[in-house]
A and B are shown apart, each in its own frame.
Chain A
Amino acid sequence: MVDQRDMASIIGEVDFFDGLPADTLELLAGCAKNVRFNAGDYIYREGQAADTFYIIRHGSVAVQLHVPGRRPLVIESLTTNEVLGWSWIVAPYRWSFDAQCVTLVRALAFDATCLRGKMETDCAVGYEMLRRFVTVMSQRLRGTRIRLADMYAPTVNAAD
């Protein structure tokens, strides 16, 4: 069993929270718990309430788009030290995709309702969290845009 002080130090070791003051880490710890999923488990499904976000501590998660008549399409995979899920921070707080474990996954799970409340009442915490999430969202949007170019598609050399 991990007490809240231990949880704060675990959270403090996560890159995503790098540089947060101790009192903010304590506050985050109050909303956090350790979770574990087996390979194949769905952490969340499209349309469900986004009431949690995760920092993956071990393992790999496939973010999937369900396509009728086809196997689910993996649009992104996330692994150790990466953030899983941002729909909890954007109304109407519903997951847009499925998240399925590729391997056994150990993660930190943060209660989004608890955290949203703290972000509302403490602007400094709200700003820090948004700043960090916007960075992640921006990186993933950029990655998605680059992939839209289908850059590995064959191109004809003029001599060929």
Chain B
Amino acid sequence: MNVHPGTAKPVEDPMLPLTYEVVGIKKELPDTVTLDLRAPNGMPFEFEPGQFNMLYAFGVGEIPISISGDTSDPMQLVHTIRVVGKVSQAFAKLKEGDSIGVRGPYGVGWPVNNIKGSDVVIVGGGLGLAPLRPAIYSVLANRGQFGNVVILYGARTPNDLLFEEQLHEWRGRFDLHLDVIVDRAEAGWPGRVGVVTQLIDHAVFDPEETAALVCGPEIMMRYAVQALADRGVDTKNVYVSMERNMHCALGFCGHCQFGGTFVCRDGPVFAYDTISELFTTREA
């Protein structure tokens, strides 16, 4: 199996959801909420950046959601969820004190420990910033062990910027470069309008010493990888987070099969080189 040095570790009873209490809700965007969850017995939840959980809305269904919190704060399990279907809709209606089922963490995450010493370029698009946030926390918590840190974020419009307060906070730091671009805007938007690849063209990093973490819609990731390669970044140092139809999260059911891999078990984060052929395979 071609996977990068793994961060996956077995969970004790992988098919058993544990009941977590909603202790905080933040409406990030009109269709996106962040849930802070706490285990009933107060046990810590340890995970690696980029891993995901299966979240169960009782009586409705179960969906895979990336963890968007901080690995250094294991008492708080954080998930950011966009409302698109009936299960995510149920999560958006939760109130503090309600309960959901959680099983996980699953999958292989961002290889943050393996890229120490490199410049780090983090490219996020839309909701793709959520699975990247734990990696950003981790890189910033160990800032001295990385070279240039560049965060590039693309969104649909200025009203669709996820974690906007945090973007401002990160942008205010003197030890990283953060740039944002949107697909379209009305006059008065002071930021950039265009595609996220344009930000890659102008970002400051040493391509030969760079590892890139990329997460967003597959179209965006495809062009972002291309732009990184055009800048001279070796694609074996580019990591992408894939999204597929994950059900069991254990590689049993096969719903998320991606060529010879299962996204739930071998991903969701892959070294681009290991899946590059699949990445451009047409499905229809």
Which A residues are closer than 8 A to B by beta carbons?
60, 62, 64, 70-77, 79, 81, 100, 102-103, 143, 146-147, 149-160
Contact = CB atoms under 8 A, between A and B. Distances in A.
Contacts of A158: 245, 255
Nearest to B57: A160
A65 B38 CA distance: 49
Of all A-B residue pairs in the complex, the 10 with the closest CB atoms, nearest first, are A160-B85, A152-B126, A152-B156, A72-B187, A151-B217, A71-B186, A158-B245, A77-B193, A143-B195, A151-B219
B89 to A, nearest CB: 8
Contacts of A160: 61, 63, 84-88
Given A62-B193, A154-B82, A147 B186 contact: no
B250 interface: no
B61 to A, nearest CB: 7
Contacts of B247: 159
Contacts of B186: 70-74
B251 interface: no
Contact of B187 (A71, A79, A143, A150): A71
A64 B184 CA distance: 10
Given A151-B183, A157-B64, 20 more contacts: A60-B190, A60-B192, A64-B187, A70-B186, A71-B188, A73-B187, A74-B193, A102-B190, A143-B197, A146-B223, A147-B183, A152-B126, A152-B155, A152-B220, A156-B85, A157-B85, A159-B85, A159-B245, A160-B63, A160-B88
Contacts of B156: 150, 152-153
B50 interface: no
B252 interface: no
Q: Which of A79, A103, A143, A151 has the most CB of B within 10 A?
A: A151
Nearest to B83: A154
B184 A147 contact: yes
A83 B268 CA distance: 39
Interface in B221-272: 223, 243, 245-247, 255
B17 interface: no
Contact of A159 (B63, B127, B193, B194): B63
B131 to A, nearest CB: 14
Interface in B148-190: 154-156, 160, 183-190
Given A151-B219, A152-B125, A154-B82, A76 B193 contact: yes
Interface in B34-69: 61-64
A64 B186 CA distance: 9
A73 B192 CA distance: 13
A75 to B, nearest CB: 7
A60 B187 CA distance: 13
A127 to B, nearest CB: 24
A77 B243 CA distance: 31
Interface string B63-84: 1100000000000000000101
A100 B186 CA distance: 12
Contacts of A75: 184, 193
15 contacts: A64-B187, A73-B185, A74-B187, A74-B193, A76-B193, A77-B193, A77-B194, A152-B155, A152-B216, A152-B217, A155-B217, A159-B62, A159-B64, A159-B85, A160-B85
B31 interface: yes
Contact of A157 (B190, B197, B243): B243
Nearest to B61: A159
A146 B216 CA distance: 14
A30 to B, nearest CB: 30
Given A143-B198, A146-B219, A157-B63, A77 B191 contact: yes
B103 to A, nearest CB: 14
Nearest to B187: A72
A72 B190 CA distance: 14
A74 B155 contact: no
Contacts of A150: 156, 183
